[in-house]
Amino acid sequence: GQQVMQIPQYQHVQEGEDFTTYCNSSTTLSNIQWYKQRPGGHPVFLIQLVKSGEVKKQKRLTFQFGEAKKNSSLHITATQTTDVGTYFCAGSRSRGGATNKLIFGTGTLLAVQP
Amino acid sequence: NAGVMQNPRHLVRRRGQEARLRCSPMKGHSHVYWYRQLPEEGLKFMVYLQKENIIDESGMPKERFSAEFPKEGPSILRIQQVVRGDSAAYFCASSQTGVAYGYTFGSGTRLTVV
């Protein structure tokens, strides 16, 4: 079945350093979404990318969707302690108009040392 | 403007008992998704329901687990004869349409089987 992997599993950075997590799907996706989950919390939707090669920015966060629509990345510039949490990518495949559930990636846990 | 409401937040059950987890979607949302998150792991899709219909239950274990979303009232995820391996966080998400976009998750139910 469809698999979505993320690397790294865990990243520890000093506050102010940059951070990147990579997401790879075994199948072509119709869209990719990113979620953030704080420790003990629930996933919160960040953004959706739909077009091949699309790049979107949210303040210090930059999201990319690969040309083949099978991979994506999230880059955080100058991390802050508030960025701590697990970042999940999630993808879905369109099937001739039928609805589809999201398959979540394995997640990257980000720790930020002040 | 309540979000997705899940209750209880925490549930402790002895092995062999039944667990009932409830999810009330956001107002106007008729699509509900259940996900399970084991400790230190990602979110695994379980089941997708619309009002009175199960659309996709491909992620649900064949035995002991069932889900419903009646015409009136919340969606219910039911686990019969719980075992220690069922201990996890169970998250519900809802959406307005069946197209996978920007799920709104509830706060989850943390199930502990003792």
pLDDT over threshold 50, residue B61:
yes
DSSP letter at A95 equals B
B90: its two tokens: 């169970």
Q: What is the mean pLDDT of residues B79-96?
A: 95
| Amino acid at residue number A1 | G
State the pLDDT at residue A2.
73
User: Cβ separation of B105 and A42 shorter than 8 Å?
Assistant: yes
Please name the residue that has the structure tokens 């990719």: A32
Q: Are A16 and B79 in contact (CB under 8 A)?
A: no
User: Cβ separation of B107 and A42 shorter than 8 Å?
Assistant: yes
State the pLDDT at residue B98.
64
Q: Which residue has the higher pLDDT, B8 or B30?
A: B8
| Amino acid at residue number A40 | G
Q: Are A74 and A61 in contact (CB under 8 A)?
A: yes
Dist. CA A45–CA A47, nearest whole Å: 6
Per residue in A38-61, pLDDT tens?
999 999 999 999 999 999 999 999
Q: What is the mean pLDDT of residues B52-78?
A: 94
* pLDDT confidence band for A95 (50 / 70 / 90): low
Q: Which residue has the higher pLDDT, B114 or B51?
A: B114
State the pLDDT at residue A101.
81
Please tell me whether residue B58 adopts helix, strand or coil conformation.
coil
Q: What is the overall mean pLDDT for chain A?
A: 92
Four-residue CA torsion sign, B70, B71, B72, B75: positive
Please name the residue of chain A whose CA is at the shortest distance from the CA of residue B38.
A106
User: Cβ separation of B48 and A99 shorter than 8 Å?
Assistant: yes
Query: DSSP of A25-73, one letter per residue?
Result: ESS--SEEEEEEE-TTS--EEEEEE-STT-EEEETTEEEEE-TTSSEEE
Chain A neighbors of B43, CB-CB under 8 A: 43, 88, 90, 104
Percent of chain B with pLDDT over 70: 96
Residues in B whose CB is inside 8 Å of some CB of A read 31, 33, 35, 41-45, 48, 55-56, 59, 91, 97-108
Chain A neighbors of B105, CB-CB under 8 A: 42-45
**DSSP H or E run through A90:** strand A85-92
State the pLDDT at residue B99.
63
Residues in A whose CB is inside 8 Å of some CB of B read 31, 33, 35, 41-45, 48, 88, 90, 92, 99-107
Dist. CA B112–CA B6, nearest whole Å: 16
* β-pair partners for B20: B78
* pLDDT confidence band for B100 (50 / 70 / 90): low
Q: Which of B98, B100, B105 has its CB closest to that of A43?
A: B105
